[in-house]
Amino acid sequence: MRYFNTLTKATIDTDFKISGGDWVLENESKDAVVDIQANDADSQKVEQEQVTEEPNVDGTYDKVTKAQIMQELDAFGVEYDKRANKQALYDLMMEQGKE
Instruction: Place 23 in a pLDDT band, splitting at 50, 70 and 90.
Output: confident
CA distances from 62 to 21, 69, 81, 87, 90 (A): 44, 11, 20, 10, 11
Average pLDDT value for residue range 67-87: 90
Residue 61 contacts residue 47 (beta carbons within 8 Å): no
pLDDT digits (tens, 9 = 90+) for 25-53: 877 655 555 555 555 555 555 555 554 45
Q: What was the pLDDT predicted at 34? A: 55
pTM score, whole prediction: 0.41
Q: What was the pLDDT predicted at 59? A: 63
Q: What was the pLDDT predicted at 4? A: 81
Question: What's phi and psi for 47, nearest 5 deg?
Answer: -60, -40
pLDDT at 78 over 80: yes
For residues 37 and 15, give the distance between their C-alpha atoms in angstroms, rounded to a whole number.
Answer: 28
